[in-house]
Amino acid sequence: MYVTITAQKMGGNYSKSSADFVGYLEKENQGLEQQEKEHFFNQYGEGILAEEVVREIDGNTAKLEKPEPRFYSITVNPSKYELKRLQDHSEDL
């Protein structure tokens, strides 16, 4: 399994807001029925609205210096073999 953790940059600078990235992720849900959409989640639950995601991430920067990244993107890429072994990809991952 290939996993990456990447600081989100826009050009040579770290993004000041997560809004563009959250918007990019929301595009994956365009045209899908409600039950087919993938929702944001945290350690407490699922179905978190995009606006709340942006507000929580952007509001959690009190101890960060200006040149530090505000948020990171985590990418999980299982191999074809690993995907075959998983019963329900979304749930199992």
Own/partner pairs, 52-61, CB within 8 angstroms, 24+ separation:
53/18, 53/22, 54/17, 54/18, 54/19, 54/22, 57/18, 57/22, 58/16, 58/17, 58/18, 58/19
pLDDT at 10: 65
pLDDT at 11: 66
Residues of the chain predicted below pLDDT 70 = 10-12, 89-93
pLDDT at 78: 86
pLDDT at 5: 92
CB 38 within 8 A of CB 29: yes
Q: Where are the domains of the chain?
A: 2-92
